[in-house]
Amino acid sequence: MTARIVVVGSVNIDMVVHCDTLPAPGQTVIGGTFRKLPGGKGANQAVAAARLGAAVTFVGCIGDDDLGREARAALAAEGIDTAHLAVVSSASTGVALISVDAAGQNAITVASAANATLAPAQVDAAGAAIEAADLLVCQLESPQPAVAQAIVRACRAGVPVLLNPAPAPPAPPAFLGAVDVLVPNEVEAAALTGMPATAFDAATAAEQLRAAGAAGVIVTLGSAGLCLADAAGTLRLPAQQVEVVDATGAGDAFVGALAVALAEGADLRAAAAFAQRAAAVSVTRPGAMAAMPRRGELAGW
């Protein structure tokens, strides 16, 4: 059966400039190519899941502008249900300003705009879809009250919750203990545990976050792979070695693929390995949403 996934999250239009090096504070760097692309962590993860075979419903907000219409069209073109993607007249569509250097690393600044208006009432309007899902996926580019309400609706219906706590919040959210699978990167894991960056240990952070309530925790470590903690213990998985073109959407490719595998019934360790393959493919080509792989592309990885 097709996995049913609801994504509550952000929609942006990405403004991407490629440059040799990322600018330091106060520095101007002359870049090369410029591209305008649909993005946002929530939208990227939704597309990643849809391309891998899931039936995806999206809950979020866009502005009543050309960028919003472009973003909606991009999601609809992937077969994603956008009935709960609300149009907000009081705010513009979210925008991300992205610089990508010659090594494929990036620096991102986001103007949340309409994403910041997502409210619990809108989540409740999508309650039937959440309660019928095999998995709920959330991030923190949306307001925490809306994310909390989505998690409440999912938990009441026995629907598992995957949370990508990005960007890192200033303090651990109150709903952290209601999350089934938590997927931070090392910066986010350090913020959630209060661990100094100079003394960060992924295994310790994963174990602490699991002790906080999540049944499974995956700390993603970029080119160093990941650290996973579940009921069976802690596991390190190395990343597949590929030529990196653009790492902008790698984390979203990982989360979307992880969601599909979990919704299809895989255990966390098998799902993590599947997600690593998707992330590896995504960094070998430019863009975030555009780079999300399809199922057949993962066969040889």
Q: Decide: 49 and 5 in contact? Cβ < 8 Å.
A: yes
Confidence of residue 300 (pLDDT cuts 50, 70, 90): low
At 247 the pLDDT is 82
User: 288 labelled as ligand-binding?
Assistant: no
Q: How far apart are alpha carbons 227 and 243 in whole angstroms?
A: 22
Count of CB atoms situated within 10 Å of the CB of 68: 23
Residue 103 has pLDDT above 80, yes or no: yes
At 301 the pLDDT is 57
Burial status of residue 241 (CB atoms within 10 A of its CB: 0-12, 13-18, 19 or more): exposed
Q: 286 lies in a domain?
A: yes
Q: What is the mean pLDDT of residues 18-25?
A: 91
User: 62 labelled as ligand-binding?
Assistant: no
Percentage of the chain lying above the pLDDT 70 cut: 99
Q: 168 lies in a domain?
A: yes
Q: How far apart are alpha carbons 7 and 253 in whole angstroms?
A: 14
The total of structural domains in the chain comes to 1
What φ, ψ does residue 228 adopt, rounded to 5°? Answer: -115, 135
Q: What is the dihedral of CA 118, 122, 124, 127, to 10 degrees?
A: -100
Q: How far apart are alpha carbons 82 and 85 in whole angstroms?
A: 5
Selected residue with higher pLDDT from 45 and 290 = 45
> Count of alpha carbons within 13 Å of 31, Cβ hemisphere only?
18
At 78 the pLDDT is 97
What φ, ψ does residue 61 adopt, rounded to 5°? Answer: -140, 140
* 3-class secondary structure, 228: strand
Residue span of the structural domain in which 263 resides? 4-10+41-91+118-298
Residue with token string 């309400």: 149
Q: How far apart are alpha carbons 55 and 46 in whole angstroms?
A: 9
Q: What is the dihedral of CA 132, 136, 141, 142, to 10 degrees?
A: 30
Q: How far apart are alpha carbons 70 and 35 in whole angstroms?
A: 14
Q: What is the mean pLDDT of residues 35-59?
A: 96
Q: 54 lies in a domain?
A: yes
Q: How far apart are alpha carbons 111 and 121 in whole angstroms?
A: 23
User: 248 labelled as ligand-binding?
Assistant: yes
Q: What is the mean pLDDT of residues 162-188?
A: 94
User: 223 labelled as ligand-binding?
Assistant: yes
Q: Decide: 163 and 218 in contact? Cβ < 8 Å.
A: no
Percentage of the chain lying above the pLDDT 90 cut: 81
Q: 284 lies in a domain?
A: yes
User: 40 labelled as ligand-binding?
Assistant: yes
Q: Decide: 251 and 166 in contact? Cβ < 8 Å.
A: yes
Q: 50 lies in a domain?
A: yes
DSSP string, 193-221: HT--GGG--HHHHHHHHHHTT-SEEEEE-
Strand partners of residue 162? 137, 181
Q: How far apart are alpha carbons 38 and 117 in whole angstroms?
A: 19
User: 285 labelled as ligand-binding?
Assistant: yes
Q: List residues with catalytic annotation.
A: 252
Confidence of residue 114 (pLDDT cuts 50, 70, 90): very high
Distance of CA 258 to the CA centre of its chain: 10
Q: What is the mean pLDDT of residues 24-48?
A: 92
**What confidence tens digit (pLDDT) does each residue in 258-277 have?**
999 999 999 999 999 999 99
At 32 the pLDDT is 84
Q: 109 lies in a domain?
A: no
Q: What is the mean pLDDT of residues 216-233?
A: 95
Tokens of 112: 């949340």
Distant-in-sequence, close-in-space partners of 148: CB < 8 Å, separation ≥ 6: 120, 173, 174, 175
Selected residue with higher pLDDT from 243 and 256 = 256
CATH number of the domain that 243 lies in?
3.40.1190.20
Q: 232 lies in a domain?
A: yes
Residue 233 has pLDDT above 60, yes or no: yes
**Summary mean pLDDT of the chain:** 94
Q: Where are the alpha helices (DSSP H) in the chain?
A: 41-51, 66-77, 120-125, 127-131, 144-156, 186-193, 202-211, 250-263, 268-282
Q: 255 lies in a domain?
A: yes
